[in-house]
Amino acid sequence: RRPAAPGQHLHGDPHPAGAAVPRRA
């Protein structure tokens, strides 16, 4: 698991769409 980046909606879990991309709908 990676530390959640500032602005990242995830809790640090890698996401299929990209863990480095903020999940802001």
Domain range for 13: 1-25
pLDDT of amino acid 16: 59
CA 6 to chain CA mean position, Å: 9
pLDDT of amino acid 4: 59
Looking at the 3D structure of the chain, how many domains does it have?
Answer: 1
Q: Residues in the chain, how many?
A: 25
What does the alpha-carbon distance between residue 4 and residue 10 come to, in Å, rounded to a whole number?
6
**pLDDT tens digits for range 1-25:** 666 566 655 555 655 555 556 655 5
Name the token pair of 16.
């299929």
pTM: 0.14
